[in-house]
Structures are given as C-alpha cells and as structure tokens.
C-alpha cells in the first residue's frame, strides 16, 4: 500500500492525482486550510469512511502547520510516507498593469521551503526518503522559455511573470536539494521572493541530500478532459512527456498532468527520478 501526503490537493492537479492514487489503493493524507472543502465531495467522503483518506487542517505557509501535517501523515501511514505530492500554485488575480499576480506573491516558494524544512528525521535517510513530485511550470528557466512557441513567449513574459517569479524560487530550492548546478542563464530569484540566506534556514536539506525528486513542468494549463484516458483505448499517447525541454506545443490539461504524475512519474520512477519533465500536447 502506498501512503501519500498531498499539499495543494483541494482542487486541480493535486486533487485529480490524489483520486487516481486512491483508485489504485493508496492512502492519502491532505493538508488543507479548510477541511470543509470536501464536505460535499461524495468520492472523497467514501474514501474517508474506508479509512483511505485523512484530512489535516493546516496552512502550508505556516511552518508549524506543515510540521504537524507531516506528523499526521506519518501516523495515517503507520509510520511511513511513500510519496509527497506538492502542487500548490496559488489563486491568480489579473491586473492590467502587472499581468497575473498571486496573493501572497511567493506562495509556492514559501510553502515548498516549509515542506522541505519540516521533513521528519525518519524520512531523511536515503533509504526512507519519500518519492517527491513537485509541480512548477514550463517556461520558467531560460532553456524552457527559449523552447516556447513564439506566440507564447510574450504572454509568458508579461502575463505570467508574477507566478513564474514565485516558481523560479521553487526551482532554485529544488536545484539545491537535488545538488543540481544552477545554469548561468537562469537568474537568481528576486530577493523579495527568496531571501539571500535561504540556504541557512533551519531544517532545509543539505545540497544534494534529496535524490528521489521529479519536477513536473506542465505547459499552459487548461480545464479540459484527460485525453490520455481516451486515447489509451486506441493505443495512442494523450500527451508528450519529455525530460528536459521540447520545442513547440501550447497547452495541456490539469487532468492529463495528473495522469502523468500517477501513470508516468510514479509508475516508472526509475525513468524520471531526478529530472524535470515537460508535459504538453
């Protein structure tokens, strides 16, 4: 049985991935600001009654809440957490002069730091580390932006500058814990989004300490159906998943991104471990 701790699972990618994992027999512990979000969700309520789902009240922006979340997830998993799924992205707010903005503007980076800093000691040894899947976005790093279709480059640079500045901070932290060099072409995150002394934050894993990590970088997200499920009936792939960068492609649905997380990354972990993966139609 796989025990999963999910942050950002109240909706969208995290929710769809959690449902897929539950359908495969996993147990899932959700950290939620409001556990009432699932009060009318018949599917989740059914899994709660079966003892497959735990709802943990807490805010990922509060360090102690995340620490308690880990403790509750360990208890729900009988002392183990096999998978950490981090899909926090914030609620966008469009401003004409600034494009899409997040409130707070550093929600992804802050929540990720809190999650990694509070990783329990029992899960820090190489043999006990959970598989960690973090969702950021395509086009954040220099190489990724260069591979975008020309029609999207301006949109990403203007409309998505705010959310991508936050996720750049998350990517920088992930490069550190993975022991991956930071490319010269990739600027350091703004100091107001990632404090200069972030490497010295108590509890943060050392450089290269975490190995079992996959970074999922979906293209421009849509609310469309899961094409992978439909096309699988005809023996065709529903999307492209490539480690590194890929030229072209515009969008991918949240449901297909969740499909890759469960049926791609987690199902074929040795293939994807330690890599950043672009998911796009």
Degrees, nearest 5: CA angle 164-167-173 = 145
Q: Are strands 83-86 and 3-7 parallel, antiparallel or unpaired?
A: parallel
Burial 25-47 (b: 16+ CB within 10 A, else e): ebbbbbbbeeeebbeeeeebeeb
Closest among 160, 121, 123, 120 to 139, alpha carbons compared = 160
Residues 50, 54: Cα–Cα separation, whole Å:
10
* Per-residue pLDDT band at 242 (split at 50, 70, 90): very high
For the ranges 72-81, 97-106, 139-148, 229-238, the lowest mean pLDDT is seen at 97-106
3-state class (DSSP) for residue 207 = coil
Q: Could you tell me which of 239, 270, 243 has the C-alpha nearest to residue 252?
A: 239
Q: What is the pLDDT of residue 258?
A: 98
80-119 per-position pLDDT tens digit: 999 999 999 866 666 565 656 667 789 999 999 999 999 9
Helix (H) or strand (E) holding 256: helix 254-259
Q: Reduced to 3 states, what is the DSSP secondary structure of residue 90?
A: coil
Does the pLDDT at position 185 exceed 80?
yes
Q: Given the DSSP bridges, would you call strands 276-280 and 240-243 parallel, antiparallel or unpaired? A: antiparallel
CB burial class (10 A; 0-12, 13-18, 19+) of residue 66?
buried
Report pLDDT for 136: 97
pLDDT at 94: 62
pLDDT at 79 exceeding the cut of 80: yes
* Mean pLDDT, rounded, for 166-195: 95
According to the model, what pLDDT value does residue 105 have?
84
- 30-39, 76-85, 102-111, 235-244: lowest mean pLDDT where? 102-111
- For residue 158, name the pLDDT band (cuts at 50, 70, 90): confident
pLDDT surpassing 70 at residue 206: yes
The residue-averaged pLDDT of 22-44 equals 98
| Both structure tokens of 67 | 């620490």
If one counts every other C-beta atom within 10 angstroms of the C-beta of residue 80, the result is 15
Global pTM reads 0.95
Cβ 2 vs Cβ 84: under 8 Å:
no
User: With contact defined as beta carbons under 8 Å apart, do 174 and 133 qualify?
Assistant: no
Average pLDDT over residues 177-201: 94
């Amino acid at each position: 049985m796989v025990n999963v701790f999910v942050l950002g699972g109240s909706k969208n990618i995290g929710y769809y991935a959690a449902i897929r994992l539950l359908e495969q027999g996993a147990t899932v512990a959700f950290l939620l600001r409001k556990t009432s979000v699932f009060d009318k969700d018949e599917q989740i309520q059914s899994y709660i009654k079966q003892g497959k789902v735990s709802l943990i009240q807490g805010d990922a922006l509060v360090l102690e809440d995340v620490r308690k979340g880990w403790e509750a997830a360990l208890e729900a998993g009988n002392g183990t957490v096999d998978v950490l799924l981090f899909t926090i992205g914030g609620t966008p707010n469009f401003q004409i002069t600034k494009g899409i903005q997040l409130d707070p503007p550093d929600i992804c980076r802050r929540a990720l730091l809190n999650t990694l800093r509070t990783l329990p000691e029992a899960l820090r040894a190489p043999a006990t580390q959970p598989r960690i899947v973090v969702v950021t976005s395509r086009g954040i790093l220099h190489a990724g932006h260069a591979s975008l279709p020309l029609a999207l480059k301006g949109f990403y640079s203007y409309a998505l500058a705010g959310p991508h500045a936050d996720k750049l901070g998350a990517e920088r932290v992930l490069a550190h814990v993975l022991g991956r060099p930071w490319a010269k072409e990739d600027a350091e995150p703004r100091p107001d989004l990632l404090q200069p002394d972030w490497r010295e934050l108590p509890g943060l894993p050392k450089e290269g300490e975490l190995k079992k990590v996959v970074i999922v970088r979906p293209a421009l997200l849509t609310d469309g159906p899961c094409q992978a499920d439909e096309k699988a009936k005809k023996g065709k792939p529903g999307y492209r998943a490539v480690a590194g960068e890929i030229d072209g492609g515009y969008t991918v649905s949240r449901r297909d991104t969740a499909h890759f997380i469960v049926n791609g990354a987690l199902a074929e972990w040795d293939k994807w471990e330690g890599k950043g993966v672009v998911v796009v139609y």
